[in-house]
Each structure stands twice: as C-alpha cells, then as structure tokens.
Structure 1
Amino acid sequence: MTITPLYAGLLAILFLALSLRVVQKRSNVSLGDGGDPELLRRIRGHGNFAEYVPLILLMMAMLEVGGATPAWLLHLLGATLVVARVLHGIALSYTAKWKFGRFYGTLVTFILLLVLALLCVWRGIAALLV
C-alpha cells in the first residue's frame, strides 16, 4: 500500500491537532465538558473525526489492497476526505458558527462513506462472480 498511508498520515496530523485543542481547553475538567460550550464543540469535533475517518480509511485500504481500484480514484477519495475533515474540524473545533464548513464537511464525509461503501460492496460481489 502506498496511497492510503499518505492520507492516513495527513489525517493523523489533523486528529492530533483536534486532540490538542481538547486537551488545551480541558484544564480543570477531567470528564465530559463541564458545561463549557466551547469545550463541548472541541470534544465533538474530535469525536466526530474519530467516528468516521477510521472506517473510511479502512475501506480505502481494502480497495487499494484489492488492486482493482485505480490510483487516481483512491487519491481523489483521500484528498476529498482530507478537505472534508479540515472543513468540519475547523467549523466544529475552531469556530462557533461556521455553518459552511460544518455542513459541507459533513455532507462530503457522508458522500465519501456511501461511495466507498458501494465500491467495497461492488468489489465483493465482483469477487464472488469470478
């Protein structure tokens, strides 16, 4: 594998930035958000990333290892994922009301989840028919 690790690395850097934002704001709150709306946004930005990115990267990796998915498509999917998660991460963790980033970051992430799911199902069905 050479393509998925590139995007996994870039996304890991973003995940680290989101993690540090939570730690930076946490100070005296050991669990939860302590009723602080800014801390809650940072926690959700971090958590949302952790909820979606691993599965999408896993599906990308499976398609890459399978060898039937063109490299250009994997790069397109990976780059799109990075852009979507940057938009969403900035909107949720760094700002209070940047609706554009939150909406389009979420929308593009959902589209990627669906596209990759369909590609994986297609790949699985194709393998059965051979």
Structure 2
Amino acid sequence: MNTNIVPAYAALLALFYVALSIRTLRLRRQLRIAVGDGGNPAMLRAMRVHANFAEYVPLGLILLHFVEAQGAQPLLLHGLCLCLLLGRIAHAYGVSHTAENFSFRVTGMALTFTTIFFSSAWLLLAFFRQHLG
C-alpha cells in the first residue's frame, strides 16, 4: 500500500526547518555574531533549537518512510507523523524562551521519541513477521 503520506509531513517539517534557519540567521545579524553563540544566551537557544531539529528529524523521517513503504495503515502513519511534527513544534517553542516552560520541551521530546520508538518497533515486528512467520 503506497499512501504517500510521509512526503507531505516531510514538506511541512522542511518548511519549519527553513523558518528556524531564518530565525537563527536574523538573530545572528541582529546580534552581529558570525560564528558560534558569542556568549549570548538567546543565540545559544536559537542554535540549539535549530540543531536539535536537525539531529532528530532526519532519523524520524527515514523511519517513517520505511514504515510507509512496508504498508502501514494511513491512520498509523498520520499519528506517527503528527507526533513528530507537533513534537518538534513544541520543543522549538519551549526551548526558544529564556524563561523556559519545561513542559513544552518535555512534551516535544516525548512526542519525538514516541515517533522513533513506535516506528522502530513496527519495523522490527514487520521484519519478524515476514521472515519468521
């Protein structure tokens, strides 16, 4: 079953990544920091939001692609993709504020890990069903 759900979410995540990139670049220009964080906490936060996104989203999308390619039900795909998308938004929102509300950060990471964990588990189960069943 080829449902082509994941590419739509990948596009949304890519647009969000571009928005985070532009935000970081604007802050660099405003603070006149060419490289690194310049010891500025706001710059450090913007960099970490951007980097954390870049660290987790590719793995999540690769796993989601494999889940889709293995024929997962559309409802499962939408649920996992929404977890990743909403998780990244919540994390970015939480970490972006100096007076950080940790609930957004924790929720964001929990949703991201949910996507990675359940996608991995689904893929392993599919593998064992195909090869041992």
TM-score higher than 0.5: yes
SS of corresponding position for 2:59? helix
Normalising by structure 1, report the TM-score.
0.91
Residue 67 of structure 2 corresponds to: 63
RMSD: 1.3
Q: Deviations over 1:61-107 (max 9, x none)?
A: 1111121x1111001111121111110111123x1212121111112
Structure 1 runs not aligned, ≥5 long? none
Q: CA deviation at 1:129?
A: 2.1
- Give the total of aligned pairs: 128
Residue 17 of structure 1 corresponds to: 19
User: 2:64 & 2:116 partners in 1: Cα distance?
Assistant: 10
Q: CA deviation at 1:59?
A: 0.7
2:55 to 36, 51, 56: 51
User: 1:50 & 1:107 partners in 2: Cα distance?
Assistant: 17
The answer to whether structure 1 residue 37 and structure 2 residue 35 are counterparts is: no
Q: CA deviation at 1:125?
A: 1.9
Normalising by structure 2, report the TM-score.
0.89
CA contact (8 A) 2:83 2:114 kept: no
2:118 to 107, 115, 119: 115
Q: CA deviation at 1:11?
A: 0.7
Q: Percent identity?
A: 35
User: 1:90 & 1:21 partners in 2: Cα distance?
Assistant: 13
